[in-house]
With several copies, the nearest count.
Chain A
Amino acid sequence: MYDLHLTAEQVEMREAVRDFVAREIKPMAAELDRREELQRQFPPALFDQASQLGLRTLGLPAEFGGAGADSLTICIVAEELAVGDVGVAAMLTETSTLARLLFDGMLSDEQRAQWMPEFLSDHRCHLAFAGPDSEPSDDWFYHRPFVADGRCPISALKAANGDWLLNGVQNFVPNAPVAKLIIVEAAAADGPRTLLVACNTRGLEVRAHDPASRNPGADGEPVFAWNNGTSGQLVFRDCRVPAKNLIASAGTRLPDRGGKAADRAPPHRAAMNLGVGRAAYEAALEYAKLRVQGGRRIIEHQAIGTMLAEMVARLETARSVIWQAAWAADHADAYADGSLPHLPHATIARIMTAEFVHKVTLDAAQIFGGSGVMRDLPMQKHVRAGMIFLHSNVSNSAAKFRLAEAVAGYERPSPAAGGR
């Protein structure tokens, strides 16, 4: 029975996060916004509070000690967090997503028994994933087999006792500066291996990226960090990882990083993206109600009113389609019983949200005039965050290819092992 009522728990969770955002994140974000992106560091106390609210383990099933939230709740939370600060939202969502992937899929029972207690008890234990290098055109193919040639910058050599020796440097690893456990995909002689590495393992150094230094990207051209969370560089120098830390004997593809699995994955990123749009809209609305030009509040001017109407219409529409995709991720039967058409709803949510929010942030900045492009005010951060969602982790162009293949009924031949 079609029903859009949220449960009391969902509404309460949303209120709790809103309250956390208003009390803790927003005041801190205002301060952080004045710094260079790569110098933003979240206060550890914030981590503790977020973890105590259950946000670090939100997606982990209750049986493993997590909050066991459904996909809809995860999206509600991700949106609210991103209204406060997209970096905090990205960091917590990365850990929560990886926790589910790791503890509810990749680990053996023994491995789980080893790491779970520490992960659950340490409020500051975050997770990171370091996989093969990728470049934009990885996903720019249509109606033909995918040939991945991204290589793992980290090499793994099997020692005599079965341990693994890791070497190499990987740039721009999300969550690296905060992660205590890192899932590393490394290239061994006979194929990729996935290992779990503690951040304090001897031979591993986690470095902050210097904002002024320009590392060459996978394609050899200079790039710089352009994501919404926090990221850093991992340097492995003969880093010895015990054999028992081997968690997969092949490469690992994360569902929200593209591929067919992403089609029906929970649209966390889209929800964060929506939060960015809401932050921009809410600021613009407030400003438009206060600022007087032309003898009246600017919201009373037709042009500003029309822009605000378009903004709120887009955001509400995005939320509608994100929630639909979130619910669909947990209810595959709805496709079978005719309640939903056979389409990749998460991909649709991603496409529409990214385009909507991009437009919303530009309009919001327009309403702010010159203040919309000041580095020490939050509006410009929203504009840039919106651009990042539009172009990164499967760009909208590539997402449209995947959607078109779905409607065309194209079945891609399985990629060779190790494809990410």
Chain B
Amino acid sequence: MDFSLNEEQRAWQMKARRFAEEEIRPISLQRDQITDPFATFDWDIIRKGSALGFRTAAVPKRWGGYGVDIVTQAVVMAELARGDAAMSKAFSQCWKWSHLIAASCTPDQQERFLKTFLADDTYLLGAGITEPNAGSDNRLPPGNDPKAGYRLRAERDGDHWILNGVKSFIAHGSVGKLFFVYTRTNPNVNLKEGSTLFLVPRDTPGFRIGKVFNKIGWRFYQNAELIFENARVPHANVIGEVNGGAKAGSGETSGFGELELAANALGVCDSALEMAMQRAHARARGGERLGDQQFIQLKLSEMHVLIEALRSFVMRTAWERDRAAQGDAAMRESVNADFVMSFSRTALDRITELNMEIHGTADGTANVQAEKLFRDAITSHVAGDIVQRITPIQRLLARMRAQSALAAARP
């Protein structure tokens, strides 16, 4: 048992903390308050962060990246999110690719896209799954219903595929240069058997960006519509096999997606707690500090308890995912990444709300920063939703069934 970071991990943590304090925090609120959802992005912070390695941190060393482990990734995400949840996610969104590419891409694809990604300090990545009528069905498809799940159509045309349809709410949709797009290549069978995953560069003919969604929080992080009108994508951009889209995506077993949001939430919680402790310490009325009041102490206590539980759980899970990546079969089976994401939801909602309570409101005004954290928190409420909560249980119960079937089969 050892909960400490090694030297390299610690160095990344310090670098991220400094960057969050010196670069992210000073512009966080200002970017948040821009009304036009298209105008919230800031390329300068991306370039600065790229220079420090935050964009490419997760690309394995053999391809020229930093190849940091998942513990480091968790630590860096949390530190950056302490400055701004959306800006942290703008970097970590690119890490998914590193995981997926390692799991599922051909050397040719790696060659074509990784080099550009590493060289261009504004090269951002996105993935297109959600469609207006396909949300939780993508994640928990109902049996054999061919109508359930995403419907974006891809049809073969010689060496190319013709894509038609719309993806919505796509992260980095308006700023990304390369997208992982899930399509239906056989609309008559279910999602699992009839979908294909494509690499689609931004400049693909017939592919354009629609509206940017006007979210109430995570303002810097843009979610947009991707519109495909006879978009032509070369066959060489298929990831995995045709009609093997579900498999291509699930080859990435790091559990990074879940851990990513949990680590991000941890950073936001830290930021809220910092504010609340500072307020309790510094604010006085009639000679009495706010923090002298028992009901404030109880709120602070609840915040601390949830945060330290979350920190413990996030770091343990990150370690588990590293072990899984190194081939530990038991860890590969662990569903803690799902659970930690659910737990982060509880902690994040409660902690940002308690911070608002401690700051209070009066005369119809509220503390700007506390309110931003609350908005950021509820914006990510899809993480840790019902599907997120029941999926791992279904897996665990299925495993119990398989084991008892096995036991029953034995003499």
A-to-B contact residues, CB < 8 Å:
36, 133-138, 140, 142, 147, 149, 171-172, 174, 211-212, 214-215, 217-219, 221-227, 229, 231, 293-295, 301-304, 306, 362, 365-366, 369-370, 372-376, 380, 383-384, 387-388, 391-392, 395, 397
Q: Residue on A with the closest CB to B140?
A: A294
Asked whether, in the complex, the Cβ of A294 is within 8 Å of the Cβ of B136, the reply is: yes
Q: Residue on B with the closest CB to A303?
A: B386
Minimum CB–CB distance for B292 against chain A, Å: 11
Once bound together, how far apart are the Cα atoms of A372 and B296, in whole Å?
Answer: 26
Binds A, one of B70-78, B234-242, B283-291, B401-409: B283-291
In-complex Cβ contact of A372 among B290, B295, B359, B381 (8 A)? B381
DSSP class of B's interface residues: helix, strand, loop or mixed?
mixed
Once bound together, how far apart are the Cα atoms of A172 and B366, in whole Å?
Answer: 11
Once bound together, how far apart are the Cα atoms of A227 and B148, in whole Å?
Answer: 42
In-complex Cβ contact of A374 among B35, B215, B286 (8 A)? B215
Q: Residue on B with the closest CB to A226?
A: B366
Asked whether any CB of chain A lies closer than 8 Å to the CB of B294, the reply is yes
Asked whether, in the complex, the Cβ of A134 is within 8 Å of the Cβ of B362, the reply is: yes
Asked whether, in the complex, the Cβ of A370 is within 8 Å of the Cβ of B382, the reply is: yes
Mask: chain B, 362-400; 1 = CB below 8 Å from A; 0 = not: 111111110100110011011001100010000000000
Minimum CB–CB distance for A66 against chain B, Å: 26
Instruction: Enumerate chain B residues within 8 angstroms of A306, measured Cβ to Cβ.
Output: 295
Q: Residue on B with the closest CB to A130?
A: B363
Asked whether, in the complex, the Cβ of A302 is within 8 Å of the Cβ of B293, the reply is: yes
Asked whether, in the complex, the Cβ of B295 is within 8 Å of the Cβ of A303, the reply is: yes
Instruction: Enumerate chain A residues within 8 angstroms of B169, measured Cβ to Cβ.
Output: 370
Asked whether, in the complex, the Cβ of A391 is within 8 Å of the Cβ of B357, the reply is: yes
Asked whether any CB of chain A lies closer than 8 Å to the CB of B214, the reply is yes
DSSP class of A's interface residues: helix, strand, loop or mixed?
mixed
Q: Which of B130, B293, B366, B382 has the most CB of A within 10 A?
A: B366
Asked whether, in the complex, the Cβ of B364 is within 8 Å of the Cβ of A293, the reply is: no
Q: Which 5 pairs from chain A and chain B are nearest by CB?
A: A136-B360, A227-B364, A226-B366, A295-B142, A223-B365
Asked whether, in the complex, the Cβ of B361 is within 8 Å of the Cβ of A395, the reply is: yes
Asked whether, in the complex, the Cβ of A369 is within 8 Å of the Cβ of B367, the reply is: no
Instruction: Enumerate chain B residues within 8 angstroms of A376, measured Cβ to Cβ.
Output: 214
Once bound together, how far apart are the Cα atoms of A138 and B142, in whole Å?
Answer: 26
Q: Residue on A with the closest CB to B145?
A: A295
In-complex Cβ contact of B135 among A229, A369, A375 (8 A)? A369
Asked whether, in the complex, the Cβ of B374 is within 8 Å of the Cβ of A387, the reply is: yes
Q: Residue on A with the closest CB to B141?
A: A294
Asked whether, in the complex, the Cβ of A218 is within 8 Å of the Cβ of B293, the reply is: no
Asked whether any CB of chain A lies closer than 8 Å to the CB of B298, the reply is yes
List 23 interface pairs A-B (beta carbons < 8 Å), by A numbering.
A36-B35, A140-B293, A149-B286, A212-B33, A217-B363, A217-B367, A293-B135, A294-B136, A302-B294, A306-B295, A362-B349, A362-B381, A366-B381, A366-B385, A366-B386, A369-B136, A369-B385, A374-B214, A391-B366, A392-B366, A395-B357, A395-B360, A397-B357
Once bound together, how far apart are the Cα atoms of A231 and B363, in whole Å?
Answer: 10
Asked whether any CB of chain A lies closer than 8 Å to the CB of B216, the reply is yes
Minimum CB–CB distance for A167 against chain B, Å: 20
Asked whether, in the complex, the Cβ of B378 is within 8 Å of the Cβ of A223, the reply is: no
Once bound together, how far apart are the Cα atoms of A134 and B215, in whole Å?
Answer: 31
Asked whether, in the complex, the Cβ of B216 is within 8 Å of the Cβ of A380, the reply is: yes
Minimum CB–CB distance for B387 against chain A, Å: 9
Q: Which of B285, B294, B365, B368 has the most CB of A within 10 A?
A: B365
Asked whether, in the complex, the Cβ of A138 is within 8 Å of the Cβ of B362, the reply is: yes
Asked whether, in the complex, the Cβ of B349 is within 8 Å of the Cβ of A397, the reply is: no
Once bound together, how far apart are the Cα atoms of A79 and B283, in whole Å?
Answer: 37
Asked whether, in the complex, the Cβ of B135 is within 8 Å of the Cβ of A392, the reply is: no
In-complex Cβ contact of A373 among B37, B217, B390 (8 A)? B217
Known: A226-B371, A293-B136, A303-B294. A172 touches B356 (CB 8 A): no
Instruction: Enumerate chain A residues within 8 angstroms of B353, measured Cβ to Cβ.
Output: 387
Once bound together, how far apart are the Cα atoms of A44 and B295, in whole Å?
Answer: 45
Q: Residue on A with the closest CB to B296?
A: A140
Known: A36-B35, A374-B214. A369 touches B362 (CB 8 A): no
Minimum CB–CB distance for B282 against chain A, Å: 10
Q: Residue on B with the closest CB to A35?
A: B35
Known: A362-B378, A370-B382. A219 touches B142 (CB 8 A): no
Q: Residue on B with the closest CB to A358?
A: B353
Instruction: Enumerate chain B residues within 8 angstroms of A303, measured Cβ to Cβ.
Output: 294-295, 298, 386, 390
Once bound together, how far apart are the Cα atoms of A321 and B183, in whole Å?
Answer: 52
Known: A302-B294, A370-B130, A374-B216. A218 touches B385 (CB 8 A): no
Once bound together, how far apart are the Cα atoms of A135 and B143, in whole Å?
Answer: 30
Instruction: Enumerate chain A residues within 8 angstroms of B216, measured Cβ to Cβ.
Output: 373-375, 380, 384
Mask: chain B, 114-154; 1 = CB below 8 Å from A; 0 = not: 00000000000000001000011100101101001000000
Given A172-B363, A224-B368, A374-B216, 11 more pairs with CB closer than 8 A: A140-B296, A217-B363, A217-B365, A223-B367, A225-B364, A293-B137, A369-B135, A369-B136, A372-B378, A374-B213, A374-B214
